[in-house]
Structures are given as C-alpha cells and as structure tokens.
Chains A and B, each alone.
Chain A
Amino acid sequence: AQTVTQSQPEMSVQEAETVTLSCTYDTSESDYYLFWYKQPPSRQMILVIRQEAYKQQNATENRFSVNFQKAAKSFSLKISDSQLGDAAMYFCAYREATSGTYKYIFGTGTRLKVLA
C-alpha cells in the first residue's frame, strides 16, 4: 500500500526567508501524481502545487517550488520570500494515476509558522 510521510510536525520561518517542507512516499507504481495542499485556519484546503511523476522538471508556482526526486521517492516543497499569509498546515498527497480509483493518500501534515 502507498504511504506518505511528513516527518516535520512543525516548522518556523522568518518573514521573507525561505523554508523547505519535506515529504517522502512509498509506492511500487511508476505513474502517479503528487500534490501539496495548504490548509489555513479557515480549514479550506487549497492546492499549492502539483507534480506528475513522468515529468522530470520540477513544478513551480510563483514563490512555491518542489524538489521531486523520483528515485528517492522524495517530494519537498520550497517556499521562497515567506509571507505571513503562508502560515498554515501543509499536506503532501499522493494519487494513483492508472488504477481508476484515484485514491488520494495524505501525509500527517506540517504546521508552518511565519515569524514577523
């Protein structure tokens, strides 16, 4: 069974600095998707970034980028120029690409604090 591990329950970063959140996963599949979701205090989940496993190029979305290491099964999220609004829970997620059920497997989350 696939698993997703986020080993950092909590991280802190100074405003305007850069922080990296870690995520590792385990799967025997070769085709899949990886995601980072943000859950602010409102608890409404928001997609931050998405990566297709068949793409070697790391995904980027403005200040957010990932370091996708397929062989190592690692998928870290880098937040540059951190802002107070980045404070939230961040969840790493894995989704099968070919089974048809498309189940999403989530990590336990990392709480990010941004210090002014």
Chain B
Amino acid sequence: SQTIHQWPATLVQPVGSPLSLECTVEGTSNPNLYWYRQAAGRGLQLLFYSVGIGQISSEVPQNLSASRPQDRQFILSSKKLLLSDSGFYLCVQGNTEAFFGQGTRLTVV
C-alpha cells in the first residue's frame, strides 16, 4: 500500500528564516506529487506539482519553491519566510486518487 511520510508535523519559524519541508513516498514508483496549502475557508490551494524527477510546475507566484531530487522525494523550500507563509501544508501523491501526508502546520512569527 502507498504511504506518504511528511515532516515535521509542526514548525514555528521566525520571519526571514529558511524553510525545508520534506515528503517521501513508499509503495509506488513514478508518482505524481503535489504540495498544497490549506487555509481556513479557502480549501486546498495547489502550490506545486511534479510528474517526474527534476520536473516542477508552479501554480501560484510566491515566496516558495519546490524540488524533486529523487523519484519519491518532494521538498518544499523557502529562502526567507514571510508571515503570510503560515498555514497547513500537505504533500499529496496522486496517480489514480489523491493520497495525503499528515501535513505540516507552519507558523511564521
């Protein structure tokens, strides 16, 4: 069965600090991978998606970037966090249906 590992679960970071959220997938190969951000009342906003190693598509201009260094690894990064980057971030794998990681609650202070 497919498993998505996402960490950390919670993170409190000061404004201007860097960010790295990591996601790894087990139980499948060549997965389509996505980073979503969930904000109250706004549903899930697609940030980035990747259909293969090194292939990243950005959906929303922002302070964040994504990378896929390995087939089953997906990383969300920022060089300098903003207050507006606070939110709940979800890593998703979805070739046939969406499988979700447990999420990271990021608070930028």
- Mark A residues whose CB is within 8 Å of B: 6, 9, 33, 35, 37, 43-45, 47, 50, 91, 93, 95, 100-109
Q: Is B18 an interface residue (CB 8 A)?
A: no
> Which of B34, B36, B44, B94: most chain A Cβ within 10 A?
B44
Does B74 touch A at the CB level, under 8 Å?
Answer: no
B59: shortest Cβ distance to chain A, in Å? 8
The answer to whether A44 touches B100, judged by C-beta atoms less than 8 angstroms apart, is yes
Q: Is the CB of B49 within 8 A of A91?
A: no
Q: Which residues of A contact B42 (CB under 8 A)?
A: 108
Q: How far is the CA of A103 from the CA of B33 in the complex (A)?
A: 9
Does any Cβ of A come within 8 Å of B7's Cβ? no
| Assembled-state Cα–Cα distance A91/B103 (Å) | 16
B1-45 CB contact bits vs A (8 Å, 1 = yes)? 000000000000000000000000000000010101000011110
Let me know if A37 and B57 touch, CB within 8 A: no
User: Which of B88, B98, B102, B103 is close to A93, meaning CB atoms less than 8 Å apart?
Assistant: B98
Q: Does A108 lie within 8 Å of B43, measured CB to CB?
A: yes
Binding site for A on B (CB under 8 A): 32, 34, 36, 41-44, 46, 49, 51, 57, 59, 88, 90, 92, 94-95, 97-98, 100, 102-103
How far is A109 from B44 in the complex, measured between Cα atoms in Å? Answer: 9
Q: What residues of chain B lie closer than 8 Å to A103, measured between beta carbons? A: 34, 46, 49, 59
**Nearest neighbor of B98 in chain A, beta-carbon distance:** A104
Complex Cα–Cα for A109 and B102 (A): 18
Q: B51, A45: Cβ atoms under 8 Å? A: no
Among A43, A47, A102, point to the contact of B95 (Cβ < 8 A).
A102
Across-interface contacts of A6 in B (CB, < 8 A): 43
Cα separation A17 to B90 with both chains bound (whole Å): 32
Please state if B94 and A108 are interface contacts (CB–CB under 8 Å).
Answer: no
Q: Which residues of B contact A47 (CB under 8 A)?
A: 97-98
Chain A residue at minimal CB-CB distance from B46: A103
Closest chain A residue to B57 by CB distance? A101
Known: A44-B103, A106-B36. 4 other contacts (CB 8 A): A45-B98, A45-B100, A47-B97, A108-B41
